[in-house]
Chains A and B, each alone.
Chain A
Amino acid sequence: MSAIYLAVIGLAAFAIGYFFYSKFIAERIYRLDPDFQTPSHAMEDGVDYVPTNKFVLWGHHFTSVAGAAPIIGPAIAVIWGWAPAFLWVVFGTIFFAGMHDFGAIWASVRNKARSIGALTEDVVGHRARSLFMIVIFLLLLMVNAVFATAIAKLFINFPSSVFPAWSAIAVAVVIGYLIYRKGVGLLWPSIIGVVILYINVYLGDSMPISLSDGTFGLAANAQWILLLFFYAAIASLLPVWLLLQPRDYINGLQLFVGLGLMYCAVIFLSPTVVAPAFNENVPDGTPPLIPLLFVTIACGAVSGFHGLVSSGTTSKQLAKETDARFVGYFGAVGEGALALAAIIATTAGFATLAEWEGLYNKFGGGSLTAFVNGGANIVHGGLGLPLDFSTTLLTVMAILFAGTTMDTGVRLQRYIIQEWGNIYSIPPLTNNYVSTFIAIAACLGLAFGAGGASGAGGLTIWPLFGTTNQLLAGLTLLVVSVMLVKLSRPVWYTLVPLTFLLSMTILALLFQLWEFYAQGKWFLLFLDIVILVAAILVALEAVSAFMREKAKAAQASGPAV
Chain B
Amino acid sequence: MKPSVVLVREWEQQMSGSGCCGRLEGDVLGSGGDRIFPERRVIMEAMGPLYRRLRGRFGDGLDLLVVDPRNQISMVPRLVRDFWRYGVRWGDALRTLRDINSSSVVINGRLFSRGAWPPAEAVIVEIERFNGANGVENVPV
Contact = CB atoms under 8 A, between A and B. Distances in A.
A and B part of one assembly:
yes
A66 interface: yes
B26 interface: yes
A415 to B, nearest CB: 4
A187 B31 CA distance: 32
A401 B21 CA distance: 10
Interface in B25-64: 25-29, 31-32, 36-37, 39-40, 44-45, 47-52, 55
B68 interface: yes
A252 B70 contact: yes
B28 A60 contact: no
Contacts of A351: none
A46 B52 contact: yes
Interface in B1-43: 10-29, 31-32, 36-37, 39-40
Interface residues of A, number: 79
A368 to B, nearest CB: 13
A419 B29 contact: no
B138 interface: no
A133 B27 CA distance: 9
B27 A136 contact: yes
Interface string A183-210: 1111110000000000000000000000
B18 A401 contact: yes
Contact of B31 (A55, A132, A419): A419
A118 interface: yes
A404 B22 contact: yes
Nearest to B68: A60
Contacts of A44: 52, 55
A412 B26 CA distance: 13
Q: Which among A50, A53, A179 has the greatest number of chain B C-beta atoms within 10 A?
A: A50
Interface string A214-240: 000000000000000000000000001
B78 interface: yes
B119 to A, nearest CB: 15
Interface string B105-128: 000000000110000000000000
A494 to B, nearest CB: 20
A4 interface: no
Contacts of B45: 47
A372 to B, nearest CB: 17
B71 interface: yes
A535 B59 CA distance: 49
Interface stretch (A156-164, A243-251, A448-456): A243-251
B96 to A, nearest CB: 9
A143 B23 contact: no
B80 interface: no
Interface residues of B, number: 55
A208 B21 CA distance: 30
Contacts of A408: 14, 18-19, 22-24
A143 B48 contact: no
A249 B66 contact: no
A405 B55 contact: no
Nearest to A115: B26
A188 B100 CA distance: 10
Contacts of B68: 60
Contact of B21 (A249, A299, A422): A299
Interface string B67-102: 111111111001000000000000000000111111
Nearest to B37: A240
B31 A404 contact: no
Nearest to A246: B70
Given A45-B52, A408-B22, A408-B24, A248 B14 contact: yes
Nearest to B73: A59
A310 B68 CA distance: 17
Contacts of B31: 415, 418-419
A407 to B, nearest CB: 7
B26 A405 contact: no
B26 A254 contact: no
Contacts of B25: 64, 115, 308-309, 312-313
Contacts of A241: 39-40
A46 B14 contact: no
Q: Which among B12, B14, B55, B97 has the greatest number of chain A C-beta atoms within 10 A?
A: B14
Contacts of B136: none
A270 interface: no
A313 B25 CA distance: 7
Interface in A101-140: 115-118, 132-133, 136, 139-140
A249 B73 CA distance: 12
Given A309-B23, A313-B26, A408-B24, A46 B48 contact: yes
Given A56-B74, A312-B29, A46 B55 contact: yes
Contacts of A59: 71-75
A381 B135 CA distance: 57
B16 A418 contact: no
B21 A412 contact: no
A188 B101 CA distance: 10
B28 A248 contact: no
A147 B40 CA distance: 28
A545 interface: no
B14 A183 contact: no
Given A46-B51, A240-B36, A185 B16 contact: no
Contacts of A187: 97-100
Given A248-B16, A422-B32, A312 B48 contact: no
26 contacts: A46-B48, A46-B50, A47-B45, A47-B47, A59-B73, A59-B74, A68-B19, A69-B19, A115-B26, A180-B39, A183-B114, A185-B98, A240-B37, A248-B15, A248-B17, A252-B15, A252-B73, A306-B20, A309-B23, A312-B26, A313-B11, A313-B12, A405-B21, A406-B22, A418-B32, A422-B32
Closest 3 A/B residue pairs (Cβ): A312-B26, A46-B51, A405-B19
Given A185-B101, A241-B39, A244-B14, 7 more contacts: A46-B66, A56-B71, A186-B100, A240-B36, A240-B39, A253-B72, A415-B28
